[in-house]
Amino acid sequence: MTQINRRTVALVPVAALAAAAAVPAGRALAADPADPALAVVDMEAAVKAAQIDPRRADHTLTPGAKASVLAIERALQARRLLAAEWVDGYFGSQTVAAYTAYQRSLGYRGLAANGIPGRASLSQLGRGRFTVTRPVGPGVRTTWTGKTVNARTAAMLRAAQRRAGVRIVLDQGSYNPGGDPTSVGTHDGGGVVDINVRRMPTATRTALLRALRRVGFAAWLRNPQQDDWPWHIHAVAISDTDLAPQAQHQVGDFYLGLNGLSGRDPDDGPRVVIRTWEEVQR
């Protein structure tokens, strides 16, 4: 069994952050634009760290995220939500729990309090302390082949569909609490879909899986031998701020080269350079 650091205890079991309207990439959410002395928080980097760091077995920092995470942690410490010993640039479980407490202090509940920084809460936390650049958000809810998804996920599916040259049909969408019990809560929030591949040739399945990974999904081919489910691709939109805690875990495991299942076995899918949807678009 992998030894888990005390910073990597289980995440607080709260639901995922609510959907918000899209903001153009690169536009800052200024806490106080008149004050050039304020720190700058890269939201893309902070959200990535919030997904990966709690799944690590050590204190390795997420590249490019330390300064942003430190600014967030210092603001949480100032609100007496995070002890000084955890202000270290590592967005582990203690920081996730503190951010959840902060979201709840703002009156957020359910989908709006999952411990991942959202644009509105992060901007409010930064007032007088930091500005926010490269904001990310799920966008409004919509549908894809009759299943509920958010606008960001739909855009990613369209891009993967074009790359693979195959129509994507969903077995299960997002925001589906109480859905398929074998999904163990991963579809409770946003950014998660199951794609029907039962009649696809093996080569087509692999091409679609690779395309999904290349546009920013943590995606794996699932088969009946793994559990009581049909052939499908389980795809999680990396850095979707609406992710349920279980889906957050899967994204972190994907970055760490694992298969997203409870056994945390090695990833068995095609190797690609892992990038978020925002990084793909740049």
pLDDT for position 51: 97
Report the C-alpha gap between 239 and 235 in whole angstroms. Answer: 12
Sequence-ordered list of residues with C-beta below 8 angstroms from that of 126, at least 6 positions apart, any chain = 29, 31, 38, 41, 71, 75, 132
Residue 34 DSSP code: T
**Rounded CA gap, 142 and 235, in Å?**
17
Strands (E), 19-115: 39-42
The pLDDT profile of the chain, 282 residues, written as one tens digit per residue, is 333 343 443 333 333 333 333 333 343 444 444 456 899 999 999 999 999 999 999 999 999 999 999 999 999 999 999 999 999 999 999 999 999 999 999 999 887 899 999 999 999 999 999 999 999 999 999 999 999 999 999 999 999 999 999 999 999 999 999 777 778 899 999 999 999 999 999 999 999 999 999 999 999 999 998 887 899 999 999 999 999 999 999 999 999 999 999 999 999 999 999 999 999 999
* pLDDT score recorded for residue 112: 86
- pLDDT value at residue 35: 57
pLDDT (0 to 100) of residue 249 = 96
Give the other-Cβ count within 10 Å of 67's Cβ: 15
Instruction: Report CA dihedral (34, 35, 36, 37) to the nearest 10 degrees.
Output: 180
| Parallel/antiparallel/unpaired status of strands 39-42 and 130-133 | parallel
| DSSP strand pairing (232-237 vs 192-196) | antiparallel
Q: Which residues is 234 bridged to in the sheet?
A: 194, 220
Q: What is the DSSP secondary-structure string of 156-176?
A: HHHHHHHHHTS---EEE-SS-
Q: Report the alpha-carbon angle 186-136-271, nearest 5.
A: 60
The maximal CA–CA distance of the chain, rounded, in angstroms, is 59
Q: What is the model's pLDDT at position 3?
A: 35
Amino acid identity of residue 4, one-letter, is I
Integer Cα distance of 38 and 68 in angstroms: 12
How far is Cα 196 from Cα 233, in angstroms, rounded to an integer?
Answer: 7
CB atoms within 10 A of CB 277: 21
Of residues 216, 223, 239, the one with CA closest to residue 182: 223
Residue corresponding to tokens 């959840």: 100
Residue with tokens 């279980």: 246
Q: What is the pLDDT of residue 36?
A: 63
Vertex 259 angle, CA 149 and 266, to 5° = 165
Residue with tokens 């536009």: 27
